[in-house]
Structure formats: structure tokens, C-alpha cells
Structure 1
Amino acid sequence: MDKDYLLWAKENQSNALIPNALLEPRHSHEGVGAALVVRAVLYFERAYETSVRLALADCFDEFRAATGDVFKFVWHNGKAAQTADKAKPMRVLAASLGENDCFDFQYMSGEQPSDACLWSFRVFGMPAWEEKMGTRGIDVLAFSWPMVAVQDNPDAFARLFFNAAQRLNAVHGHAGHAINLSPVARQQNESTEFWISQMMPGTDVGPPTANAVRDLKGQIKTVGWLTAIDVAMLGKAGGVRGLRGELPPSWFSLNDYGAGVVIRAGVWPESGAAVTEGGKSFPPPAYVVLDRALRLVRVNGLDVLQQGTVNGDAPVYNTFSSTNAWLSRFETSGDGLLAAKAALLDTPPLDLSNALPNPL
């Protein structure tokens, strides 16, 4: 993360909140439609089991211990949003709900429950009957911090990601720059997400709970600042030795979370935003290197990442070709890979202060 970008992010944090339907003139611009954040997404199984639900409550407690009391509203199991201070605690519901009840929460820090927000904690847990069908995908945990908070303490965010992967025996996951969208107006704000992703190629796109992504097993959607892969994918990618041969150790760490490994690519997440006014955006070099190393487990194609609005004029990733172009945005030639590895020399290396548990 370039120092100039860090300074810009800190000075312009208010610009991280974007009006609703910014690029959709047919829709209201009231409220916050999109928020620029650093977001973690982890995919796991058996959210209907009490032990897993309590592990999710542990993740939530750790999040709150790190961030303080940042949430104002919570959406739960399809009900109307409640103020966070009046909602039943997740831990209580984890012990009281039946296995055939959904375990679905979305904690929000916005001024209104419909606002996209900077701080968020989202659990998408299917009931037992649905998950046991074997055709409905797997469960999701997603949480976010403002960019400035991660800038100030990247290691705390990385530890949250690692600890959650360990508690949940995550199948796969990733973390890095992303755009949170309004929980009630996603399609109206997808064009904003598209526009930002064009300026910041390191940004994740699409809802973490999308069926096409939850269906992935043995493959990942994308790489990021933090990437989790299970043991089976690790073997397919060449194992620890194979990855160590591809990933320069001064910029990449590998840490065993039990069910797999977390790969950290650098001190901070990278956006790929242009470093000078009028300059060109670029794929973050660390992600280019990691994408090549994990190419055998990164998916080739998906259903569309976005839907967009009816009769909307602004572009979105609503075709197979545009979606697959986004998925392959870090692919490069042999010379491009060498250039990306050389460019790592201009980025801060990891040191002992950045260490996560169980290094490999």
C-alpha cells in the first residue's frame, strides 16, 4: 500500500461513503448506497450445528473486542432491522435456535439500517434441512472494517481472519478491498461497485453470499491480501513446498489454521489504484504473483457477478464475458510475472511484527 494512498485514504475517509444509486438517475440518491472497506469473507460448513454457531459467536465477540461498540442495527433471519442494543445476542440465539432455523445476521454501523456501512459483520447460515440437500452451497461469514482502521492496524484484522478460519474450519476465503452495498438496494448500487473496481483492480466484486460462489468447493473465486485454502486445494497447488517456490517469503506468509492455510500477501491490502492523478490503475503485483501460484485452484468461470437494474445504462458485470474477465484480471505472461515479482521490491516486506500463528 503506497504511502501517498494511505495519506489520501486517511484524509478522505468521508468519501468512502457514497450516495445511493450514484450512477442510476432513475433511482433515489437518498442514503448511503456504497461504502469502501476492507472485507473478509470465509466459506464454511454446518452452520446449523450448535458448536459452529457458538464458534461464530466467538468470532463476533473477538470482532467487538477489537473494534468497540460500532454497530447500530442488525438484520436477523428475514425480520425487520432492529437496533443492535435491543436485539438478542448472537450467543443466546446460537444456543436456543433449532438446527432447522436459519442462522442469519447482518450487523451494520450505518445511520440508517438501509445504509451501506463501513463496519459490518454478516453471517449466512443455512438450516440443516437445506444444507444437507448438498445442492445449496455452503455457509458464509463476512466482516469489514474501514480502510483507515486496517491501515492503522493491519495485523489485528489479519488475526481476526485467521482465528475465524481456524474456528470454522474454513473451506476457503479471501480478504482485501471491497465495496459494501446497501442491504436493501444492492442492484441500484452495483454500477458504483463496477466503476470503483475499474479504478481499483484489487477490489472484490459481488455479494459474498452469491449462490455461484457458495457452490465452490475445491476452487476459489479470487485471491486477495489474505487468502484461505483448505488442505485439498493446498495439495493441488503444489503443497507448502510448491507455494514456497513461487511466493517470495519476505512478502508472503503461510500459516496453518488446521483445515488449511492462510496466505498473507504483504503488510496491507492493495487496491491497484493509480498512484498519481491521471495515472493508470494496475493489478497489485502481490496478487499477480499469488494468482499464478494458485491458478490451478482459482475458478475459470462463474455465473454473473452482478445483476444491475432494469433499463440501467451504467455498466455492470452482468454477462459471462465481463464476469470471466474480472476473474482473470491478475493473469499475466511469464514476463509479466517477473515484472510483478520485481515490483514487490518497492513494497514493504513482512516482518516478525506481522506474524500470524502456526507459520509454515
Structure 2
Amino acid sequence: MSELPFNPLELMREHPEKMRVPGGLLTKQGPQDYVGSVPAITGTLFFNDAHLPDVREAICTCFDEYEAVAKAHLTWLWREEPPDGPDKFAYTKAPTMRSMVKRMKENDLLSFTYTSGEQPHDAGEWIFDVSGMRGWEAKMIVRGTSALRFSLPLLYVEENPTAFQSMFVSFAKRLKALHGYGGLGLVLSSVRLSDNQPFEAFLADKLNGLDVGHPVAGAMHAHEGIKTVSWLTAMNYEQVEKIGGLSVIRSELPLDWFALYNYDAGLVIQAGPAPEAAPADQPKPARLVLPNMLLKELRAPKVSLHYASKDGEPRLNGWTAEQWLKRFDIEDAELMAYKSRLLNEPKLTTATTLPDCQ
């Protein structure tokens, strides 16, 4: 197994915007000459009916909003099993998403991955990745959901402290999202996922606040419940009622630290003013522990995060995936201590929250 050529935790804490992880790190073949992953602020939303015209138009409208910000940075478009045309375009030469979608039939796989890597297989800080189920899949009784993931660079979010929340809530509203999450994550090479999951597993063991796993894998169990809590956590109103309704959320999550945003089909909870890395060698942040415990009964019983290990390299599957799901769990007797600890954590400000809080 190859050694790390740099200290990722030091970089993540001091200069995360400079972190460009070589491809294949921690795999048997060792580091490769491409960008395998980069840290960014990532959002994932799970939704239904991607085979229907109105939902496909909603997806296109989400991309319109994303493209308005990301256009100058996007470089490549990948498509999985396109019904016509190549599976890869240089972004500047690609047809518009809407024109490609209009040519698709109900049972075509709706798959678009826009990236900002220099090479087609490089990871980049900007990504818009949507995978919509075929019509025949969506009509099966139990078969997962569709998923959309997008990212904004760390520095962009720092300089525009409500941009990510605004986009996340907007997308959730358009897609009538079932649930979702958003916070610190790694954007992996879109076409070399397996080779770069070991580094994601390594970093997830060090940073509890890191969102992990590809959205398509997560979508396999998304119909069973939420995947995780994060800086932003979305849930539909059926799930809100399952935990006691809005009044219970307001009583358990004080508004000085937690903002609530309505997206028509559900609610988004913002935990604190900024994404939290939550290093594993430090106390767990109360602003992630408290919503985790409140929403624990909504959690899917299992999730798919990574492929199986090939040569003993770190992966998040089986027991390790189960432990990742529980990373913010505490004993009920500890709840009061965490509620007290919350008092010393950063509060929300008008500059870090959207104006239309619940």
C-alpha cells in the first residue's frame, strides 16, 4: 500500500483549497498522474419520477441555476449510456442539457455529469451530477430513487456565505426532494471512482463531518430513509411528522444555532453558520450530534457507500459503513451535556442564513 505524499489533515485544516489529491492514492498501484479527488462543499438530493417530463424540466432548471454560476469553470460532460451521441463532450462543444433531454425517451437513463477537471478524468471543485431512473425502474415497487449532487468550491462558499444554502433549497423545491444532505465532501474523479474511494475512506475516518459515498450508491437505499445529517439536512414533511412535527424540531434545535427552510415538499435544517469538518480527534460538535439524535429514527437501516476492497485498501462498506452511519450517535444520557455544549458553539448570523427562515 502506498504512503501518503503529503499530510491531508494539515492541508484540510490550513489550506484545503490547495488540496489536489493524486489519483489512486492508497491503492496497490500507488499515486497516478491525475487529480483523484478535491475537497468542496457538496450537496446531494434524492427524488422520484426522473422519467417524467415535468421532473426532467425541473432538473434542467436546476442546471440552469448552477450553470449561471459555474459556466466559466466547467470543462467536461460525461454521460452514462447515452441514447445517442458520445459519452463524453468538451463542455464548450456539448449540446445543451435541455436539448439532449428532449430527445430522450422515458426508458432512457438520464445521466449527466458536468465537471471542472483539466483532463476528462480529473476531479474538479465544480460538479453537477444527476442520475435519473428509467421509467421501468421507477415503476417497480422497491427500487431506490434518483439522485442529484452538486458542489461549490470552498473559497466560493466562504466568500458567498449563503450561496450554497440558496442553491440547495432551490433544487430541493424544484425536485420535490425526498431528503438530502449538504456539507464538506470530496469530489472524486467521475470515471475512476473505485480507485479514489480508498482515500475518501481514509479521510472519513479522520473527519466525521465529511460526506462520503457516490449518490447513485446512496440512492439504492434512499427510499428506506435518510442517509445522514450534515451542515444542511433535508427531509420531506412525512418524515418531519414522524419525529413529532415542526414544534418538536424547534424545541430540540434552538434557532440561534439552527435555521429551518421550507422547500414546499419538506424542510431543510441548517446546523451552524458554516460547514463543519468535525475532526475525529476532537469532541463531536453539538450542532451535528443534536440533529443526528433527533432524526436517528429516520435513518435508513443500511447504505451503500463504496465498492468492495480489492487489495486490503480502506473502504466504507459492511461494518465500516455501519460505523460511519453511527459517527454522531451518543447515549441518551449524554444529550443534556451536548445541549449545554451547544451554548459555546458558533451561532448563526444574518450573513450566514437565508432570509426566509421558518
User: For residues 161-191 of structure 1, what are the alpha-carbon distances to aligned partners after superposition, in whole Å with 9 as ceiling and x for unaligned?
Assistant: 0000001100110001111212222122111
Q: Which residue of 2 aligns with 1:231?
A: 237
Note if contact 2:45-2:177 (Cα within 8 Å) is conserved in structure 1: yes
Matched, 1:339 2:337: yes
Matched, 1:84 2:84: no
Note if contact 2:221-2:300 (Cα within 8 Å) is conserved in structure 1: no
Q: Which residue of 1 aligns with 2:278?
A: 272
Note if contact 2:258-2:271 (Cα within 8 Å) is conserved in structure 1: yes
Question: CA 1:231–1:69 in 2, change beyond 3 Å: closer, same or farther?
Answer: same
Any residues of structure 2 matched to 1:4-19 within 5 Å, and which? 11-15=15-19, 17-19=20-22
User: For residues 247-292 of structure 1, what are the alpha-carbon distances to aligned partners after superposition, in whole Å with 9 as ceiling and x for unaligned?
Assistant: 0110111121111111111111101137xxxxx2443321101101
- Alpha-carbon offset, residue 95 of structure 1: 2.7
- For the residue of structure 2 that corresponds to 1:217, the secondary structure is helix
Q: 1:40 aligns with which of 36, 40, 43?
A: 43
Note if contact 1:190-1:308 (Cα within 8 Å) is conserved in structure 2: no
Q: Which residue of 2 aligns with 1:284?
A: 285
Q: Which residue of 1 aligns with 2:171?
A: 164
Note if contact 2:221-2:302 (Cα within 8 Å) is conserved in structure 1: no
- Alpha-carbon offset, residue 12 of structure 1: 4.5
Any residues of structure 2 matched to 1:315-334 within 5 Å, and which? 315-319=314-318, 321-334=319-332
- For the residue of structure 2 that corresponds to 1:98, the secondary structure is coil
CA distance in 2, matches of 1:145, 1:18: 17
User: For residues 78-110 of structure 1, what are the alpha-carbon distances to aligned partners after superposition, in whole Å with 9 as ceiling and x for unaligned?
Assistant: 343210011111122233322222211000100
CA distance in 2, matches of 1:310, 1:352: 48
Matched, 1:105 2:112: yes
Q: Which residue of 1 aligns with 2:310?
A: 310
- Alpha-carbon offset, residue 195 of structure 1: 1.0
- Alpha-carbon offset, residue 74 of structure 1: 0.3
CA distance in 2, matches of 1:108, 1:323: 27
Q: Which amino acid aligns with 1:353?
A: A
Q: Which amino acid aligns with 2:49?
A: R
Q: Which residue of 1 aligns with 2:296?
A: 295
Q: Which residue of 2 aligns with 1:190?
A: 197
- Alpha-carbon offset, residue 199 of structure 1: 1.5
Gaps of 5+ in 1: 275-279
CA distance in 1, matches of 2:141, 2:97: 26
- Alpha-carbon offset, residue 308 of structure 1: 4.2
- Alpha-carbon offset, residue 309 of structure 1: 4.1
Q: 2:209 aligns with which of 202, 209, 214?
A: 202
TM-score, normalising length: structure 1? 0.89
CA distance in 2, matches of 1:357, 1:74: 34
Q: 2:70 aligns with which of 67, 70, 77?
A: 67
CA distance in 2, matches of 1:327, 1:40: 17
CA distance in 2, matches of 1:214, 1:151: 33
Note if contact 1:188-1:309 (Cα within 8 Å) is conserved in structure 2: no
RMSD over aligned Cα atoms? 2.2
- Alpha-carbon offset, residue 219 of structure 1: 1.4
Q: Which residue of 2 aligns with 1:260?
A: 266
% identical equivalent positions: 35
Note if contact 2:46-2:219 (Cα within 8 Å) is conserved in structure 1: no
Question: CA 1:292–1:139 in 2, change beyond 3 Å: closer, same or farther?
Answer: same
- Alpha-carbon offset, residue 113 of structure 1: 1.2
- Alpha-carbon offset, residue 335 of structure 1: 4.9
CA distance in 1, matches of 2:212, 2:283: 16
Note if contact 2:22-2:31 (Cα within 8 Å) is conserved in structure 1: no
CA distance in 2, matches of 1:10, 1:148: 13
CA distance in 2, matches of 1:161, 1:244: 21
Q: Which residue of 2 aligns with 1:277?
A: none
Question: CA 1:124–1:12 in 2, change beyond 3 Å: closer, same or farther?
Answer: closer
- For the residue of structure 2 that corresponds to 1:25, the secondary structure is coil
How many residues align? The count is 346
TM-score, normalising length: structure 2? 0.90
Question: CA 1:118–1:268 in 2, change beyond 3 Å: closer, same or farther?
Answer: same
- Alpha-carbon offset, residue 218 of structure 1: 5.3
Note if contact 1:202-1:283 (Cα within 8 Å) is conserved in structure 2: no
Q: Which amino acid aligns with 1:306?
A: H
User: For residues 213-264 of structure 1, what are the alpha-carbon distances to aligned partners after superposition, in whole Å with 9 as ceiling and x for unaligned?
Assistant: 4332251010011111011100011100011111011011112111111111
Any residues of structure 2 matched to 1:215-226 within 5 Å, and which? 215-217=221-223, 219-226=225-232
Q: 1:179 aligns with which of 176, 186, 191?
A: 186
CA distance in 1, matches of 2:301, 2:43: 22
